[in-house]
Structure 1
Amino acid sequence: MARIWTDEDTDPTPQDGGYEKDVGEVTSVARPLRGPLGLAVFWIGVVTACAHIYLNTFGTMAELRFAALHFGLFGLLCALLYPLYPARSRTGRRVVLGVDVVLGLLCLMTTAYLFLYEDAFYDRGMAFDTWDWIVSGVALLLAMEFARRSSGWLIPILIMISLSYAIWWGPWVDGVFHFSGLSAEVMMMRTYFTGDGLFGPIARISYSYVAMFIIFGAFLVRSGAGDFIIDLARCAAGRFVGGPGLVAVFGSGLMGSISGSAVANTMSTGVITIPLMKKAGYPPRFAAGVEAAASTGGQIMPPIMGAGAFIMANYTLVPYVDIVALSVLPALIYFLSVGAFVRVEAIRQGLTAQAPEDGKTFRTVMKEGWHFLLPIGVLITLLVQGFTPTYAAGISMAAVVVASWLSPHRMGPRAILEALSDGARIAATMAILLVAVGVVVAVISTTGVGNTFSLMINDWAGGRLWVLLILVAIASLVLGMGLPVTAAYAVLAPLSAPALNDLMMADHIVQAIAAGTVPEQMAMTIGMLLPEVAGSLGQPMPLAEAEQLWAQISTLPGNFTAGLSEQLVDASTVAMTLLAAHLIIFWLSQDSNVTPPVCLTAFAAGAIAGTKPMPTGFMAWKIAKGLYIVPVLFAYTPLVNGTWPEQLEVFAFAVLGVYAFAGTFQGCLESPLRWYERLATGAAALLLLWPHGTLPIHAAGAALLALAVWLSWRRKA
């Protein structure tokens, strides 16, 4: 909850919004909010949130100007919230505050300049004058500086490398990355005055979807929905074996969906769930790993998901509602995989089911907090009815306020203002990051580096999809060490998604060739271009022979093979294949939260549990293995682009597979495993998770279920 600090207050604590405050996926040093500064930040946050809500629901403004306003307001907030550097002395802090106030006002000035002089710029034929150079340069430098404050030096370095490549050293590079270069004036014009750079598509996603849903999440949290979620999780999962761990999985997953931050989720729910797990008998490091893994999964949890889902909708042109619907089963697989580790560890430690200590029942919790479900219901209903996500989020905020009137904790004017200010403060760093990342994305598209990189990694993979998946996983991990997951996805998707999409589309084409569905006219054309394959197309053949034919056909010009894919693969499959490629990158971008050496979510959980950071990171990495398993299913199964029966079949066997996977890792299933039983569960896990035919999968599933029943009987006996 936001607080307005007075001069009589003592130094704020981290929980009160003081020196250490979580921002997005990273932890930055925040300035204490006291007296006039606290009051100013509070009301700037309220104004910023109100402006975004109004313009996203009822008002209208040109996209370029809205993006500039978005940058100016959140830049001012970022300048006041996070100091230039942490000065030690009182005088030093005052000097730094004065500098930051000037920088924040300069950020607003760059917005005002665009509003006032955009038309004049176009009237003189888009020729830069002195003030254009100064203001556009200041806007770029401020975006880099505020991004540095929130996520370190990686984004500013990427921006400098990108712009210098496009302007200076691109012509000096030989080979595939040679670029003839653009003038500095053209690049600055594209960066500031057009919808390509700072105020491009990534900024439009930020000012609409990201800002609105973060503010919506702040309303939910302020209304008390967090306590309801934890109580609901206790009642739903607390009575099962390993109940406290399942509470962490269930509660953290739901909270993560509305908080928009894995680290913030860990800090807010972990203070409850980690002591609860330790008290139940879980080892502290395991408890911290479970909380970190579950909190990370909140970013992939419908109905809201993380900010990356909105960027994905923009990249793929697949409606956000469809992305959410198709993400339900994958998210369940992930959380069931974490839950499998929790149950298996509980059995291994000899823990038993425990009733909630407070005596609350599911009926009692629902009676006290059923109204918290109304805003989510309103949101989902509006999305399904075809309203835009931003409009749905705005109406849902009003629904949160109305729903709170049905509880003892009614949201009055002060609570509403606090929710608005909280939402703006939480969104500030993510907004600035996405605006800054827009420069990198613009250079990638302008210079053609994205297509070049895709061709290069495709060549490295040698046409092998599994090699490409490993390369993308490594790239996402490296980027994630210095960037929040949303920014990492926004940068990596234009580079890697085309290569993934091409290889996955090739698989559909091979299946069509094997089925003999190549049109006669197309078969004749290919036969004239490649006489050695004449007469082979248009009739059913073994899959291996179809793969050999495709290897020859793929040597033809790219536009020809693209036309072949359009004729052989229906449009819905093409769209879903592209979505699957982006989902792979989106999921792999989450792994930096739980993968050493830089895994901030695991470090935060370890701090609560009192465990060493790096061992906690490795534990979280082991428990969150679903982040690697599900992308494999996206690539090789119809989990996204199949029919509902096909998707449910993949889901069912994947759940059994991750259960066997957890048992193999922990050496226990329904009872401790002997060495040969552990080998058997490992083999079953591989068979269930790697698509290669229905008979082995069904046999492995039946064998695993039989083994689980036998082990359960042995434990009870």
Structure 2
Amino acid sequence: MARWIESLEAAARRIEPAHHSEAEPVRSVVLFLWAALVALAHLLLNTVWLLPELQVAVFHFASLGLLALGWLQAPPRSRIGRWLSMAAGLVLVLAAVAVVVLETPLYERGLVFGWLDWLACVLIVGLAIELGRRAAGWLIPILILALLAYAAGLGRNLGGVFAFPGLGLDTLLFRAVFTSEGLFGTIARISWSYVFMFVLFGAFLLRSGAGELILGLAHRAAGRWTGGPGLVAVGASGLMGSITGSAVANTASTGVITIPLMKRSGFPPRFAAGIEAAASTGGQLMPPVMGAGAFLMANFTGLSYLSILGAALLPAILYFCSLAFMVRIRARRLGLVPAPLDEKEGLGETTAGWALLLPLAVLIGLLVAGFTPVYAAGLAILAVVAASWLTPRPMGLLAILEALAMGARNMMATAMLLIAVGLIVNVLTTTGLGNTLSIMIAQWSGSSLLIALALVALASLVLGMGLPVTAAYIVLAAVSAPTLHALILQADLAQALAAGQVSELAREAVLLASPSAEAWLGQPMPLDQAQSLVAAMTPDLQRTAAEALLDPALLAGSLLAAHLIIFWFSQDSNVTPPVALAAFTAAGIAGERPMATGLTAWKLAKGLYLIPLLFAYTPLVRGDWLEALSVAGFALAGLYALAGVLEGWLEGPLSLPARLALLGLGAGLLWPMSTPWLALVCLAGLVAMVWRTRRD
């Protein structure tokens, strides 16, 4: 028994946050067991137990909220602090129970609030704001309070498009707590189902030893290449990020191995930290987890989770290739040679845990077979435990408890953030403020998709200074996704009209906007003329014509492209100073200055801004696989050229005129509106420049 208790204490210490290193052993074990129990309950609620969604969402918030009260901040040192922490936990539990118990009587009274309803709703909203603050800082609560004040009456004092008559406090609280747009609505359901299950799946994989397997495979695959340690960091972070879904956790887990490895091989510490941060950020772009992005996108767009994964895979590969180009070019510039691998370490030893790849195969196979993501993740978790018994490190009871607790710990901050953000989405939808801001973006862009993309990127940059990735995506999606979707559809519609594709319904829509077009409608026309026709149509007529002319798959792809653009832009908060959590984490491991590391990571992660252009203007995520691969091939060459421009080196040094010429070639290969012959010319020019620099 004593040995079991010691093992339990050791497991609790392993998963505790760093700022809890001095916590009392009893407190550590209690939080550890509670975290494991919470994760087990979520696993059962998502697979076996069927409860009303409000009850599950409230349990999700309260159970993980208790963990957040215990783990998101350092444990209080004074007795008063400990009593206050316990009191906050008790209030959280009582308020959560009250919300569930009072729901039915509230409906029976015709939504007339009693004093208990007031108290429970005020407490639950206040606790959600406070826990959101602990998870993500002060910007979330400030934004929530400002929007709640706007909805409660501040909007009456504003003029113009921002004027809003205001809601009664009881109506506002009811919508915040009991409706599908509030705290315990759609976003909370995504949190307690899809996101939690995949985070838990990642925790089981990591605890089973899959992390070491990934690092080993990456090392064997890339170790003999120029810049091998840097390529290992890129590959390992991409694979690890595909299961963890957290850029910061990815940086912390792989960076402690890859950053010292890169430094020993000759890479500058700042570059090593920047590559790790940029690669870990890309982990949130790589299926199957993508942070919470894939599940939120599925909810926003109504598209299947599997279709989103299929569309997201090729762009994610492009992003990691852009980082690999930077690593290789920097290694050649520094004159680094491949380090020989230890020949005693055979492939069999590296892949001793090969069976841990089976759960990923189970997950993908179930998704392809049509099972729900939650069900697939649940069976994949069981597959991890079963597969571990085919490796030298089988998972016993303690390892399973540790994986459960790790999953709950990794999920608590994300859950608090998602639930708090529900208040923001509630106000944006209830007041119509989201539509107003979307219309303003459309007006400022002047119906130019490129300008709209620049505005969304700028808004993402500003939001990323205070909001984590998931929150920034949700806010931007609510505000700017309709505008981007409409502008992408306008471009597709103009191309269809220019090609002479006109159905009867589309003809009527065009003629209502421009009767003089009847004489030449249905014949090929210049693209600018087609664009003028589309611009003359009202948004409703544009939608009608698009639905009549465009393939349904293209319509769905346009909506997905708009959300993918926003999701990619929102990732820059991980690597963009002054708030760049992944870059700061990598800087700490490398012993470098945080701000300088953030700027380096930002430069290296240039694909976050370049690749989304392809979503908007090309079939990369909207066409068939042949079209997507064609676009990706040219884009790959363009990214290689731009990496050479940034480094001043290709296969050899580049003069200033050569860099300028290379910039033009890279832009021609990447610029999605270029004609095919121009892209081929640029590709030939790039090949010639590579050959020349290699000879020199």
TM-score by length of 1: 0.93
| Structure 1 residues 283-329: Cα deviation after superposition (integer angstroms, max 9, x where no partner) | 11111111111111000012222211110110011111111111111
Match of 1:468 in 2: 452
Equivalent of 2:32, from 42, 67, 91?
A: 42
How far the C-alpha of 1:615 sits from its partner, in A, is 1.4
Contact 1:528 1:534 (C-alpha < 8 Å) held by counterparts: no
Name the aligned partner's letter for residue 243 of structure 1.
G
Deviations 1:189-215 (A, max 9, x none): 111122221101110100001111111
In structure 2, which of residues 42, 67, 70 is the aligned counterpart of residue 80 of structure 1? 70
| Aligned AA (2:16) | G
Distance verdict in 2 for CA 1:338–1:448, change over 3 Å: same
Q: Which residue number corresponds to residue 405 of structure 1?
A: 389
The partner residue of 1:620 within 601, 624, 627 is: 601
Structure 1 residues 33 and 213 mapped into 2: Cα distance closer, same or farther (>3 Å)?
farther
Aligned to 2:688: 706
Give the distance between the partners of 2:449 and 2:477, measured in 1 at CA. Answer: 16
CA shift for structure 1 position 357: 4.0
92, 104, 111: which one aligns with 1:107:
92
Relative to 1, partners in 2 of residues 1:528 and 1:188: Cα closer, same or farther, differing over 3 Å?
A: closer
Q: Does 1:265 align with 2:250?
A: yes
Query: What SS does the corresponding residue of 1:249 show, helix, strand or coil?
Result: helix
- Conservation of the 8 A alpha-carbon contact between 2:15 and 2:402: no
Q: CA deviation at 1:358?
A: 7.0
Residues 274 and 288, structure 1, Cα contact 8 Å, conserved in 2? yes
| 2:339 alignment partner, SS class | coil
Residue 470 of structure 1 aligns to a residue whose secondary structure is helix
Give the deviation of 1:422 after TM superposition.
Answer: 1.1
Q: What is the Cα deviation at residue 39 of structure 1?
A: 2.0
SS at match of 2:288: coil
CA distance in 1, matches of 2:508, 2:285: 46
* CA apart distance, 1:618: 1.2
Does structure 1 conserve the Cα–Cα contact (< 8 Å) formed by 2:202 and 2:243? yes
Residue 336 (structure 1) aligned with residue 330 (structure 2): no
**Structure 1 position 517 matched with structure 2 position 498:** no
User: What is the rounded CA distance, in whole Å, between the counterparts of 2:505 and 2:591 in structure 1?
Assistant: 69
Unpaired runs of 5+ residues, structure 1, are 21-29
CA contact (8 A) 2:493 2:550 kept: yes
Amino acid at match of 1:712: R
Aligned with 1:253 (options 238, 258, 277): 238
* Corresponding letter in the other structure for 1:77: L
Deviations 1:570-626 (A, max 9, x none): 222111100000000000000111112221211111111111111111111111101
**Could you tell me the percent identity over the aligned residues?**
50
Native 8 Å contact 2:456 2:566 kept in 1: yes
Q: CA deviation at 1:369?
A: 1.8
CA displacement at 1:35 relative to structure 2: 2.6
Deviation, structure 1 residue 526? 4.2
Native 8 Å contact 1:291 1:605 kept in 2: yes
* Aligned pairs (5 A) from 1:97-136: 97-136=82-121
CA distance in 1, matches of 2:197, 2:100: 23
- Counterpart CA distance in 2 for 1:450 and 1:115 is 30
Spell out, residue by residue over 1:45-97, the C-alpha distance to the aligned partner (whole angstroms, 9 max, x if none). Answer: 111101110111122111111111111111111112134x875xx42xx3222
Identify the residue that residue 686 of structure 1 maps to in structure 2.
667
* Of 127, 139, 143, the match for 1:158: 143
CA distance change for structure 1 residues 561 and 18 in 2, over 3 Å: closer, same or farther?
closer
Residue pair 1:248, 1:294 contacting (<8 A) in 2 also: yes
Q: Render the CA deviation track for 1:206-262: whole Å, top value 9, x for unaligned.
A: 000111111111111111111111111100000001101000000111111222211
Mean Cα displacement is larger for which, 208-217 or 530-539?
A: 530-539
Task: State yes or no: 1:457 paired with 2:441.
Answer: yes
How far did 1:528 drift?
Answer: 5.4
Shift of 1:461: 0.7
Output the amino acid matched with 1:406: L
Q: How far 1:4 moved relative to its partner? A: 11
Offset, 1:458: 0.9
RMSD: 2.1
Cα offset for 1:518? 2.2
Query: Following the alignment from structure 1 to structure 2, what is the Cα–Cα distance between the partners of residues 463 and 76?
Result: 48
Q: Deviations over 1:12-43 (max 9, x none)?
A: 99x763443xxxxxxxxx58542321122112
Q: Which ranges of 4 or more aligned residues in structure 1 deviate by more than 6 Å?
A: 3-6
| The one of 682, 685, 696 aligned to 2:678 | 696
Aligned residues of 1:5 and 1:38 also touching (Cα < 8 A): no
1:612–1:519 distance in 2 versus 1, CA, 3 Å: same
Q: Does the 8 Å CA contact 2:668/2:682 hold for their aligned counterparts?
A: yes
Once residues 654 and 506 of structure 2 are traced to their aligned partners in structure 1, the CA distance between those partners, rounded to angstroms, is 57
Match runs of 1:186-585 below 5 Å: 186-357=171-342, 359-366=344-351, 368-520=352-504, 522-524=506-508, 526-527=510-511, 530-552=514-536, 554=537, 556=538, 558-585=539-566
In 2, are the aligned partners of 1:247 and 1:273 still within 8 Å (CA)? yes
Q: What is the distance in 2 between the residues matched to 1:596 and 1:352?
A: 33
C-alpha distance in structure 2 between counterparts of 1:532 and 1:511, whole Å = 20
CA separation in 2, counterparts of 1:165 and 1:304? Answer: 35
CA contact (8 A) 1:31 1:81 kept: no
Separation in structure 1 between the aligned mates of residue 231 and residue 379 of structure 2, nearest angstrom: 33
Supply the distance in 1 between the matched residues of 2:231 and 2:648 (Cα, whole angstroms).
20
CA distance in 1 between partners of 2:182 and 2:195 (Å): 18
Per-residue deviation, 1:707: 2.3
Aligned AA (2:613): V
Shift of 1:533: 3.2
d(CA) in 1 for partners of 2:607, 2:563 = 17
Question: In structure 2, what is the Cα distance between the partners aligned to 1:418 and 1:373?
Answer: 20
State the aligned residue count.
692
Give the SS at the match of 1:327.
helix
Aligned to 2:589: 608
Mapped to 2, the partners of 1:523 and 1:474 lie a distance apart of 38
2:571 to 590, 593, 615: 590
Classify 1:694/1:100 alpha carbon distance in 2 versus 1 (closer, same or farther; 3 Å).
Answer: same
Mark the CA change 1:16 to 1:267 in structure 2 (over 3 Å): closer, same or farther. same
Q: Which residue matches 2:626? A: 645
Tell me, yes or no, if structure 1 residue 665 matches structure 2 residue 665. no
SS of 1:494's partner is: helix
Structure 2 residue aligned with 1:25: none
Judge conservation of contact 1:5–1:34 (CA < 8 Å) in 2.
no
Deviation at 1:109, TM superposition (A): 1.7
In structure 2, relative to structure 1, the CA distance for the partners of 1:270 and 1:175 (3 Å cut) is: same
Bigger shift: 321-330 or 559-568? 559-568
Contact 1:639 1:650 in 2 (8 A): yes
Separation (CA, whole Å) in 1 of partners of 2:228 and 2:437: 47
Q: Is 1:656 matched up with 2:637? A: yes
Amino acid paired to 2:282: G
Structure 2, unmatched stretches of 5+, are: none
Cα distance in 2 for residues equivalent to 1:9 and 1:402:
25
**Residues 528 and 383 of structure 1, relative CA distance in 2, 3 Å threshold:** closer
Give the Cα–Cα distance (whole angstroms) in 2 for the partners of residues 359 and 349 of structure 1: 29
Hey, what's the Cα distance between the residues in 2 that align with 1:440 and 1:327?
A: 27
Give the structure 2 partner of residue 68 of structure 1.
58
Q: Aligned partners of 1:589, 1:177: CA distance in 2, in Å?
A: 25
CA change 1:46–1:86 in 2 (3 A) is closer
2:561 partner letter: A
